[in-house]
Amino acid sequence: MSATIFEKSHIGRGGIRLPKHQVQDAINLPKSLLREEKAKLPELSEFDVVRHFTNLSKKNYSIDSNFYPLGSCTMKYNPKVEERVANLDGFANLHPHHITNAKSNFIQGSLESLKILEDDLKEITGMDAFTLTPEAGAHGEMTGIMMIGAYHKKRGNKKRFVIVPDSSHGTNPASAAMVDFEVITVKSDKNGAMDVEAFKEAINDEVAAVMMTVPNTVGLFNPGIKEICDIAHSYDALMYYDGANLNAILGLIRPGDIGFDVVHLNLHKTFATPHGGGGPGSGPVGVKDKLIEFLPDLRVGYEKQKGYFIKEPSPYSIGKVSPFFGNYMISLRALVYMQTLGKEGMINVSRKAVLNANYILSKLKNYLDVPYDTFCMHECVLSAQSLYKQYHVSTLDIAKYLLDFGIHAPTIYFPLIVHEAIMIEPTETENIDTMDYFCQKVIDAVELAKNDPEAFKEFPKTLPISRADETKAARSLNIRWQED
């Protein structure tokens, strides 16, 4: 039943029949532009089409249908009230040109929404100002590093390097390199945190910034973080906080209070706006006072007489990093999320996110390897290395097994510093029943690996395709239907 719509086509079958039009053709297209044969469109009844697409939609995997413990991605529930608000006429039908040509008063509400969002984010992170325009986490990182570059340039600092721990998110070194810095990687200590002694050896006068993913990709909070900030500042290197996973610390600590100068957030993760599949995101960047003059263009100001308005950019601004206000609808959804939760609600978010991850860690630690045996933050990292050594059942095999039980695969083979890594982020919105179900399925997989390792070759059995050639699928994907 998984034929394409072309294969279901039947000559002469149709949905609607339009009457012959009774007006003259407006233009006569030149013959050279006209097709010689009829377009090869599938011919189906309306009912066939409805059934085809309804069945296809059911094959989609989504957070609204099943558990999605994809580590580092924060696939939490996205409350539907956000959609209601983002779909209000006044927001949904606002043309981007109206929001940036703020001459008239009729967009005061939209500008106000951006100003409130900026103020809320400042309070949550302890930063002094935000740009809301970057359209993803990695885009925010690049924006932040560009501002750091502009800061050093204005001060006449000669800076070439950015320090990145080996436990940071892969986008960190990539963003630094895109802004033409050379990356110095510092290894982790046995507890999974950046080794402070190795860091002291690596830092020098030419280091522009230290980029830290907090918590790092093994789900741990570096206890030496304050010391690292102080050392970096003594070299006039700025501290960058990758806050894509802010649900670990939301309402509990603030990057600005620890000593960070720049932070980016992922509204599409922490602040529950839909994401995945490359959909729109938002990666606002917060800075301390000393970096405000470098912020990208398009920021909202407020004065009592004037109301809300768009500020003139400073002469040192790095310019625009995205058209208009980035993905405004994502900003709006995040604002609704924050306002409906309030301060107490947001503190509960991180408490529950951390509790849930530790619950899963404690249930699975007797079945899989634990690379760093300590409490984790919002996600936990386990490893199937022993299982692989003994029974040749890998992390990939376990992930494929889970698919048959309606569970999205956890993040696997990441972070790179853990062999056969399985990174699980349940998020705070999952209840204990779902987490117990998940843990039981992982435990079942481990038991099966011991008793019948060969069985894993066949999973998943219930999905349209089973095991794809992963390399071929990544390098030369071809999903186009062709007539034979």
Ligand X SMILES: *Cc1c(COP(=O)(O)O)cnc(C)c1O
Residues at the interface with ligand X (CB under 6 A)? 72, 136-138, 169, 171, 213, 242, 244-245, 266, 281, 283
Angle, alpha carbons 216-169-420 (nearest 5°): 80
The CB-of-310 to ligand X minimum distance in angstroms stands at 25
The CB-of-266 to ligand X minimum distance in angstroms stands at 5
Which residues neighbour 372 within 8 Å (Cβ) at sequence distance 6 or greater? 191, 192, 218, 220, 381
CA distances to 167, 178, 192, 214, 260 from 358, in Å: 20, 36, 16, 17, 27
- Nearest residue (CB) to ligand X, 135 versus 369: 135
CA distances to 1, 168, 205 from 160, in Å: 58, 19, 9
471 three-class SS = helix
383 three-class SS = strand
The CB-of-264 to ligand X minimum distance in angstroms stands at 8
DSSP letter at 454?
G
The CB-of-75 to ligand X minimum distance in angstroms stands at 11
- Nearest residue (CB) to ligand X, 118 versus 242: 242
Q: Which of 390, 372, 392, 383 is nearest to 442 (CA)?
A: 383
The CB-of-73 to ligand X minimum distance in angstroms stands at 6
Q: How far is CA 153 from the centre of its chain?
A: 31
Contact (CB, 8 A) for 318 and 296: yes
433-437: long-range contacts (C-beta < 8 A, 24 or more apart)? Answer: 434/67, 435/356, 435/359, 435/360, 435/363, 436/363, 437/67
The CB-of-131 to ligand X minimum distance in angstroms stands at 15
CA distances to 82, 84, 137, 309 from 88, in Å: 10, 7, 27, 22
Q: Report cis status (omega within 30 of 0) of the bond before 173.
A: no
Residue with nearest beta carbon to ligand X: 137
Among all chains, which residue has been given the structure tokens 């601004």?
Answer: 317
What is the rounded CA–CA span in Å between residue 346 and residue 271? 10
- Nearest residue (CB) to ligand X, 107 versus 211: 211
The CB-of-263 to ligand X minimum distance in angstroms stands at 11
What is the rounded CA–CA span in Å between residue 237 and residue 161? 10
The CB-of-171 to ligand X minimum distance in angstroms stands at 4
- Nearest residue (CB) to ligand X, 136 versus 318: 136
The CB-of-281 to ligand X minimum distance in angstroms stands at 5
Contact (CB, 8 A) for 262 and 107: no
